[in-house]
Every structure is written in structure tokens, then in C-alpha cells.
């Protein structure tokens, strides 16, 4: 096969042809700034890290129904039919003995692009039809705090993040962009569902050329691209709320705040101001106060605050800010600061949560909702906020707070995970291992031997997208893309759909799960429903065969209208915000009524409990990796080329490296009370002193897998991070920041075995 065919991924659309065992991948012709991450696909599909055949853990086969430690690699390979029989019987046992509320099907993760073969949709549909339901998870690791907070204070996250300020508006209208956490191009490489064109570099370049001023507030200088020409404000991580409060203090005390805007469009500024001025706690939130916390010069804070007034100013916060303890506060305080500047709802002004964190934001909306696989009905009511997985497994029957409710953790016997990697996404991996030890059975479908697959009892090999046909599209992308099958399935791997169809048959649910359709028939069916909904708005698209042949078609786009914030500005009475007061809630009676000590009725400065206090301690920033999406295809060419001696690089500031006597390529051990990992030093001027930067995504590679707290020899930061919620309000993930120590690794260097498949009998 040598013809080029169309395909798509979360990091961009492409065409590809097969060259022996490799793919030759070219970015989609219309993409002005494609991502290097595409190169991870070159050597992926026939990589030895793929899972070749279904396997079962020997220890589990001998005594299943009993919780065990799963760190060993004692797998036995069995024929598909036999494994499916064993798994169907186990699902039936758990359901009959404990009910579907003993099955955790939250299965968080990004899976891959494709509307039909979307792993979680397949799993949830299967569990609903075959078992009657499952314990689910709500929210995500990305925006755990913002998803819960924003509806209380402004409106749904989508309205604040997605349908708000666009790159087009910034190019034309904005004077100043103040970006807390930046808008790194590495992050806008990605959008779930696929991207036909990466526009962010061009947009920042054009804006800058028109004279837009970019201010980057971040511990890392490369959180904005060169093209933005930004001023770098290198604050201490975790202290943005203090900086924002001090800027607000300057506005309030110098009478620079927009009183008319606060009066007309906001609720409760007068209840917040006494806190700001120090009348409540005796601590005025003045620049000198914030200077001690943020490490920034007090005059700089004053100048920054004044320089935002009277201009079309846009405040942006990266998602990273809220992926930390008290993560609700910077999201809320950024909204208050923007409200005091009065630019909300004006083109290119106000506040856009998350702009620049993903390529979903800052674009026009697709004018039709894309078809999705129907999920059926889940009869189980129990759920967890997604990052409370270890808490749930370790505390069955335990109580926890969430968004004004007191909920109970269910008692989970079986965990079914597909399309996600908890050993990538979750914090405190040693605690996670202990939590999984409490479960009777873990089932995983995976494309490759990820650490989660190694941790399962039943491992089923799944196809990659390049081995099946699908359709890709995103909510803010103007192109619907065909994902053509490029290669045959690897070894004995099967599509998740076909695996679930076989299981459903064994559990008497074949017809309701498949509705009698093959995968190809589902694709046509889903395309048909898109055709139907477009027709109702007077749009025509070619039929499925023509679309398939062409490889892509354009979808209608919504106008760039600023969404509900713009209409609220135009008419606050006729178009109120969907909050209790109908206004921006600087003060929320509702949140106040929950009585939480860690998130009150207005934004406040809380000092993080996990930041350096002693000499020798550093803040570890574990941000998103530039060479891959999360842990996906960590064995791919582009990802591997970024490693040093096969290990993940940790960036150390030039100043700290000199003081510690470290240079490029040195292997170091990063450690704290929770765990330790090895990484390779990269000295950098882009890192604030006192900060270390180890991005996420290196596959967890424990040196002694059966030990209690083994060293990860590959460089996974989540052996170090803390597993606590953002607050009682949202219980979001707090993985971004933690305190560590660093030392040169002495002794014999252990090999990296992360990508070697386990030995299988
Ligand atoms: N310390 C720290 N931790 C973090 C973060 C952080 O900032 N710091 N960020 C967090 C964030 S924002 C997120 S979103 C999470 C991401 O966490 P995840 O989404 O869990 O990470 P991925 O590596 O994308 O996992 C997707 C998995 O799905 C598999 N997969 C792909 N296609 C298929 C398929 O068709 N079928 C099956 N069965 N499997 C498939 C891939 O091989 C991969 O293993 O991580 C979070 N973790
Ligand atoms: N290449 C690539 N792109 C991705 C992803 C990926 O895995 N790879 N993942 C995607 C996903 S799922 C998501 S949710 C988004 C996540 O989007 P974000 O959460 O915004 O991404 P991060 O890279 O974790 O963090 C952005 C920057 O915030 C800065 N930062 C960290 N802590 C602080 C702080 O306390 N204050 C300030 N001012 N800055 C801080 C860090 O320097 C970091 O580089 O990225 C998406 N984009
Ligand atoms: Mo995310």
C-alpha cells in the first residue's frame, strides 16, 4: 500500500502512507504550523511496546475474588475466546454478588480521536447495556476546580473558556494580554477530536505586529512564544492569587477601578473590598505584602496594575493555575481583577479562562453538534470527582464534601479502564498502587504496555486509530475529517467495539449493545445523523461515500459573537448570566453557605501547604510535555528524541545548576516523602531559580516493581506529587506543583525498561 490516505489525531490532521512497518506522516496541507508530535506515529504501530495478544495475570487466575498486589509481571497468554469467557463470567459474578455499583467505569483519559471508536463512549455504553450501569466520575483532570467554580460565579466553563474572546478579536481589538501561566504553543498543539489548522503562533505574531503588549506571568519563560515578544514576570509558582489581589489593591486604593461596571454587572464588590483593604483580617493586600509571597518587586506590581487601566485588557489564566491546592482562587480572583478593569464582554477584552491551554479555545464554534455514540442509561447514582480515585478505593463507605453535598464512597470490586492511563494522570503513584491493591479485578484494554496495562489482571490488546476507520471532528474546528484505516491490526489486537460486542453477546446484551450494526454501519449511521441535523439548518454536505473519498469536508461556523458575556454586557437585565444574582459573583452567597474553610464566599489568599520552606527544597512544576500528548506514544520518535540517556529531562535554572554543580546530561534523583524518580538535567535560562521543571508523560518505570515505594528510573513526576483535592468545593486534581529535593545520582545507573513488554507465558 503506497497511496496517501487521510487520518487525524488530537495533535493534528495528516495524510500518511505505509512504508514497511513504518508510517510516513505528512501534516494536513492547510495546517500553517503543524506539531512535531505527529512524528510519534512514524514508529508506533509496529513498536514492540504494543500489546500483541490477550493475557491474564496468573496470580489472579488462581484466586480471583481476592485483592492482591499486582506489581509482578506474571501474565499468561490465552486464546481470545477463553479470555472473553473468563471476563464475561467475572463481570457476571461481580454484578450478581455486589450489583453494578461495585464496578468503577469512570475510566478517565483522552483515548484517541474518532467519534465512533472513542474508548470511554464504548465502555460506558457497554456497561450500561450489559451490567445496568457503573460508578462514574465527573469533571476532568484538566479543569477540576474551574468546572465547579465558574458556574457559581459566571456561567458554564464553556462560556468562559470557549465561546468568549477569539484570536481574531485579539488580533483586531486587544491592547494588552496579561497571561497567567502563559499560552504556550506546546499546549495549543492539542485539541481533543483533532485540529485541521494550528493558528495560535500566527495570531500572536499578527497581534504583536499591531502593537499588542503581552505580559507573561509564569515561572517558565517559554510559556509564551518568541512571536509574542512578552515581558516575563517570573513569580513563585502557586502565588498568582496574591499578585492579583495586590494589583486589585492598587486599583481600589488609587480609584482606578471601574465603579460603574462593578455596580451594574457584579454582585458583592462591597463585601469583597474590606478583605482586600485588610479591614477584615488586618492584612491589607498591598504590593509590599504580595512581594514577600510572590518574590516580585512591589513597584513592578504597582506599575503592572496601573498599566492595565483604560486599555482593552484581556486577562487569561492557564488551566495549570487551578491544578493546584486552592485552585479555585486564582480562577475567581482573575475574574474579579478583570471586572475591576471593566472590559468584560468587549471584543478582545475581559477574562478568558484557559485561552492558550488547548487549541479548542479562541476559535469560532462549529455550527452543528457532532454525532456521538449513544450511551444508554446508567442506573447507578454513585459518582466521584475524577481525581478522588485513590480516596474512593482506600475508603469504601467514607464521606467526602463536594460542591455543597456530602457524598459517600462506594465499595468497588472491579475496575474497568480503557482509553486512559492513571499511572500517567493521577498523583502520588505509590498511594495509587496501594489503592488498586484493594480491588478484586482490574480490566484494561490498551494499545501498548503502559504502566496501567501492566497493573491489570486481564489485558486486552486494542487497535490504534491507524488500524481502523473513523470520523474526526472537534467543537471548534471547521473541518470534519475522515480517518482512513492505514494498516491491519497489530498481531491479535481488536477494536474496543468488537471486544465489547463479543462480551455483550456472552452477557445476553448483544442486540442492545450493537443494535445490529457493524462498525462500518455505525460510521454511516453517525454521519447520517450529522447530515440530518445540518439539513434542519439549511446546510448540505456530500453523502458519506463522497466525504470518504474526499477525506474532509467543511462544517458551518458560528459568528464570532462573544457568547453570553457579550450579550450580558449589552443587556444585563434582558440577558442575565446564569448565576444566582444574574451577575458576575465577586461574592457568592451560595458558596459561602457551604461553610468550607478552604473556599469561602469570595476569592482569598490561602498559602499552599506544599511549597518550599527549607533550604534545599524546590518547587517542581510538572506541566504538559512538549513532545507528546500526556503519556501517549512515549515510545514514539519525537518523544524519545527529547530524552537524555533514555530519561526525561528536568530543567534546572542556570543559577541553581551552577550552585549545585550540575550540568547538562547529569542524572539526578528527585525525591520527597512520597517517592523518588531519576531524570536527566537540562540547564535553562527559561526557568525561574528555585523551580525545577519535569513535564509529565514518561511511563512510570519502577526499579523494583514489587517494593513499597520504588524509584521510577524514567522520570514520572507523579511519584512525587500530592494526592489531595483543590478544596472541599471542587475536589479537583492538584498535580501541577509539589515540593522536592534534588541530588546527583551516584551509583550504577539502572536501565530504563518502560517500553519492554512483560514476559508472558
Ligand atoms: N503531575 C501532573 N499530572 C497530571 C497533569 C499535570 O499537569 N501534572 N495533567 C493532567 C491532565 S490535564 C490530564 S488531561 C491527564 C491526562 O491523562 P490521560 O488522558 O489518562 O493520559 P493519556 O496518556 O492521554 O492516556 C490515554 C491512554 O489511552 C490509550 N488509548 C488511545 N487510544 C485508545 C483506544 O482506541 N483504545 C484503548 N483501549 N486505549 C486507547 C493510550 O494508549 C493511552 O495510554 O493527566 C493529568 N495528570
Ligand atoms: N503538547 C501537549 N499539549 C497539551 C497537552 C499535552 O499533554 N501535550 N495536554 C493538553 C491538556 S489535556 C490540557 S488540560 C492542557 C493543559 O493546559 P495547562 O494546564 O495550562 O498546561 P501546563 O503545561 O500544565 O501549564 C501551563 C504553564 O503554567 C505554568 N504554571 C504552572 N504553575 C503555575 C503557577 O502557579 N503560576 C503561574 N503563573 N504559572 C504556572 C507552567 O510554567 C506551565 O508551563 O494542555 C493541553 N495541551
Ligand atoms: Mo487535561
Strand order in the sheet with 176-180: 231-233, 213-217, 176-180, 313-317, 350-353
**Probe target for ligand 1 pocket from 696, 724, 726, with the most ligand atoms within 8 Å of CB:** 696
Task: Give the residue, by CA position, lying nearest to ligand 1 atom 25.
Answer: 420
What separation in Å is there between the alpha carbon of 419 and the centre of ligand 1? 7
The CA-atom distances, in angstroms, between 591 and each of 54, 291, 578, 602, 666 are 49, 29, 15, 8, 48
- Which of residues 67 and 30 earns the better pLDDT score? 30
| Residue 399 grid cell | 464521606
| Ligand 2 pocket at CB < 6 A | 142, 180-182, 184, 186-187, 189-190, 217-220, 223, 237-238, 240, 318-321, 323, 357-358, 621, 623-626, 629-630, 736-737
110 is catalytic: yes
- The ligand 2 atom nearest the CA atom of 217: 38
Question: In this structure, what C-alpha cell is assigned to residue 494?
Answer: 481488536
pLDDT of 277: 98
Q: Which of 11, 60, 80, 110 is catalytic?
A: 110
Verdict on whether the full-model pTM lies above 0.95: yes
Is the per-residue pLDDT at 521 higher than 90?
Answer: yes
H helices of 183-285, where? 185-188, 200-210, 240-253, 259-265, 269-277
Ligand nearest to the CA of 112: 1
Q: Does ligand 1 have an atom closer than 6 angstroms to the CB of 47? A: no
- pLDDT score recorded for residue 71: 66
Cβ–ligand 1 distance for 323 under 6 Å, the answer yes
pLDDT above 80 for 201: yes
Higher-confidence residue of 284 and 66: namely 284
Residue 2's pLDDT band, with cuts at 50, 70 and 90, is very low
Cβ-contact 144, 42 below 8 angstroms: no
Taking a C-beta distance cutoff of 8 angstroms, is the pair 133, 167 a contact?
no
Alpha-carbon span 53 to 39, nearest angstrom: 26
Any ligand 1 atom below 6 A from CB of 419: yes
* Residue 506 confidence (pLDDT) above 50: yes
**Residues whose CB is less than 8 angstroms from the CB of residue 398 and which lie 6 or more positions away in sequence, other chains included:** 391, 408, 409
Spacing, Cα 624 to ligand 2 middle (Å): 5
Query: Going by C-beta distance under 8 Å and a sequence separation of 6 or more, which residues neighbour residue 117?
Result: 463, 465, 468, 470, 495, 496, 497, 519
Testing ligand 2's pocket by substitution, the residue of 112, 318, 695 carrying the most ligand atoms inside 8 A of its CB is 318
Q: How far apart are CA 634 and CA 733, in angstroms?
A: 22
pLDDT one-digit tens code per residue, 323-351: 999 999 999 999 999 999 999 999 999 99
Residues in the chain: 761
Q: Name 115's Cβ contacts closer than 8 Å, sequence gap at least 6.
A: 193, 370, 371, 372, 373, 470, 471, 472, 473, 526
Give the distance from CA 357 to its chain's centroid.
9
What pLDDT, in 10s, does the model give residues 580-618? 999 999 999 999 999 999 999 999 999 999 999 999 999
Whether residue 489 contacts residue 466, with contact meaning beta carbons closer than 8 Å, is answered with: no
Please say if the pLDDT value at position 63 is more than 90.
no
110 lines ligand 1 (CB under 6 A): yes
Q: Which of 736, 648, 738, 653 is nearest to 232 (CA)?
A: 653
pLDDT for position 3: 77
Around ion ligand 3, residues with a beta carbon closer than 5 Å are 142
Domains recognised in the chain with CATH numbers: 5-41 (no CATH), 163-362 (3.40.228.10), 618-744 (2.40.40.20)
Q: Confirm whether 275 is a catalytic residue.
A: no
pLDDT of residue 1: 42
**Ligand 2 atom with least separation from CA of 181:** 39
| Mean of per-residue pLDDT scores for the chain | 97
On the question of pLDDT at 579 being above 80, the answer is yes
**What is the residue with the minimal CA distance to atom 24 of ligand 2?**
623
E-state strands within 438-545 = 441-446, 458-461, 470-472, 479-483
Give the pLDDT confidence score for residue 72 in this predicted structure. Answer: 67
Catalytic residue among 11, 60, 80, 108: 108
Amino acid at each position: 500500500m503506497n497511496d496517501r490516505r487521510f487520518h487525524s489525531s488530537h495533535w493534528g490532521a495528516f495524510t500518511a502512507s505505509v512504508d514497511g512497518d513504518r508510517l510516513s506522516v505528512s501534516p494536513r496541507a492547510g495546517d500553517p504550523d503543524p506539531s512535531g508530535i505527529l512524528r510519534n506515529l512514524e514508529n508506533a504501530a509496529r513498536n514492540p511496546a504494543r500489546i500483541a495478544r490477550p493475557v491474564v495475570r496468573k496470580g489472579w487466575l488462581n484466586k480471583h475474588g481476592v485483592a492482591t498486589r499486582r506489581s509482578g509481571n506474571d501474565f499468561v497468554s490465552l486464546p481470545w475466546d477463553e479470555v472473553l469467557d473468563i471476563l464475561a463470567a467475572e463481570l457476571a459474578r461481580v454484578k450478581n454478588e455486589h450489583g453494578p455499583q461495585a464496578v468503577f467505569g469512570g475510566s478517565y483519559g483522552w483515548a484517541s480521536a474518532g467519534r465512533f471508536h472513542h474508548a470511554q463512549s464504548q465502555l460506558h455504553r457497554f456497561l450500561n447495556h450489559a451490567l445496568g450501569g457503573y460508578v462514574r466520575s465527573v469533571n476532568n483532570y484538566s479543569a477540576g476546580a474551574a468546572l465547579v467554580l465558574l458556574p457559581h460565579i459566571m456561567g458554564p466553563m464553556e462560556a468562559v473558556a470557549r465561546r468568549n474572546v477569539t484570536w481574531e478579536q485579539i488580533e483586531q481589538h486587544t491592547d494588552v494580554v496579561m497571561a497567567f501561566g502563559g499560552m504556550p504553543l506546546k499546549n495549543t498543539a492539542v485539541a481533543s477530536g483533532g485540529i485541521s489548522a494550528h493558528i495560535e503562533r500566527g495570531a500572536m505574531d499578527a497581534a504583536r505586529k499591531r502593537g499588542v503588549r503581552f505580559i507573561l506571568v509564569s515561572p517558565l519563560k517559554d510559556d509564551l512564544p518568541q512571536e509574542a515578544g512578552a515581558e516575563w514576570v517570573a513569580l513563585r509558582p502557586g502565588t498568582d492569587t496574591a499578585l492579583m489581589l495586590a494589583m486589585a489593591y492598587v486599583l481600589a486604593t488609587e480609584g482606578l477601578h471601574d465603579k460603574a461596571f462593578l455596580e451594574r454587572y457584579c454582585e458583592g464588590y462591597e463585601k469583597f473590598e474590606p478583605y482586600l483593604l485588610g479591614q477584615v483580617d488586618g492584612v491589607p493586600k498591598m504590593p509590599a505584602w504580595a512581594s514577600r509571597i510572590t518574590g516580585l518587586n512591589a513597584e513592578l506590581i504597582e506599575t503592572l496594575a496601573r498599566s492595565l487601566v483604560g486599555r482593552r485588557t484581556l486577562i487569561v489564566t492557564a488551566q495549570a493555575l487551578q491544578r493546584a491546592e486552592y485552585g479555585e482562587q486564582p480562577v475567581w480572583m482573575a475574574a474579579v481583577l478583570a471586572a475591576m478593569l471593566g472590559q468584560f464582554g468587549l471584543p478582545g477584552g475581559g477574562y478568558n479562562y484557559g485561552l492558550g491551554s488547548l487549541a479548542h479555545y479562541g476559535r469560532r464554534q462549529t455550527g452543528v453538534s457532532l454525532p456521538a455514540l449513544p450511551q444508554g442509561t446508567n442506573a447507578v447514582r454513585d459518582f466521584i470527582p475524577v481525581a478522588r480515585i485513590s480516596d474512593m478505593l482506600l475508603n469504601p463507605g467514607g464521606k467526602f464534601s463536594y460542591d455543597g453535598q456530602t457524598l459517600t464512597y462506594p465499595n468497588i470490586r472491579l475496575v474497568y479502564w480503557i482509553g486512559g492511563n492513571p499511572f500517567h494522570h493521577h498523583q502520588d503513584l505509590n498511594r495509587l498502587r496501594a489503592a488498586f491493591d484493594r480491588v478484586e479485578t482490574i480490566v484494561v484494554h490498551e494499545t501498548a504496555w503502559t504502566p496501567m496495562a501492566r497493573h491489570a489482571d486481564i489485558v486486552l490488546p486494542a487497535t490504534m486509530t491507524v488500524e481502523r476507520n473513523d470520523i474526526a471532528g472537534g467543537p471548534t474546528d471547521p473541518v470534519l475529517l475522515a480517518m482512513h484505516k492505514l494498516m491491519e491490526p497489530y498481531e491479535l489486537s481488536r477494536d474496543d467495539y468488537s471486544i465489547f460486542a463479543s462480551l455483550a453477546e456472552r452477557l445476553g446484551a448483544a442486540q442492545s449493545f450493537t443494535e445490529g450494526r457493524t462498525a462500518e454501519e455505525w460510521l454511516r449511521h453517525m454521519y447520517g445523523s450529522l447530515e440530518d441535523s445540518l439539513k434542519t439548518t439549511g446546510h448540505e454536505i456530500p453523502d458519506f461515500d463522497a466525504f470518504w473519498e474526499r477525506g474532509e469536508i467543511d462544517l458551518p461556523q458560528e459568528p464570532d459573537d462573544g457568547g453570553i458575556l457579550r450579550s450580558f454586557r449589552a443587556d444585563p437585565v434582558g440577558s442575565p448570566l446564569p448565576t444566582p444574582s444574574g451577575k458576575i459573583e465577586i461574592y457568592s452567597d451560595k458558596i459561602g453557605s457551604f461553610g468550607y474553610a478552604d473556599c469561602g464566599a469570595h476569592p482569598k489568599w490561602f498559602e499552599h501547604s506544599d511549597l518550599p520552606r527549607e533550604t534545599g527544597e524546590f518547587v517542581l512544576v510538572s506541566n504538559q510535555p512538549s513532545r507528546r500528548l500526556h503519556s501517549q506514544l512515549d515510545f514514539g520518535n519525537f518523544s524519545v528524541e527529547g530524552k537524555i540517556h533514555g530519561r526525561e529531562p528536568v530543567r534546572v535554572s542556570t543559577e541553581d545548576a551552577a550552585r549545585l554543580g550540575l550540568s547538562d546530561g547529569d542524572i539526578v534523583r528527585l525525591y520527597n516523602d512520597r517517592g523518588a524518580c531519576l531524570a536527566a538535567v537540562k540547564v535553562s535560562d527559561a526557568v525561574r531559580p528555585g523551580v525545577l521543571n519535569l513535564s509529565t508523560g514518561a511511563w512510570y518505570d519502577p526499579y523494583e516493581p514489587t517494593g513499597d515505594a520504588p524509584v521510577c528510573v524514567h522520570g514520572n513526576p507523579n511519584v512525587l506529587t500530592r494526592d489531595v483535592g483543590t478544596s472541599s468545593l471542587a475536589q479537583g486534581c492538584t498535580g501541577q506543583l509539589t515540593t522536592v529535593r534534588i541530588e546527583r545520582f551516584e551509583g550504577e545507573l539502572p536501565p530504563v525498561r518502560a517500553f519492554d513488554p512483560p514476559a508472558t507465558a
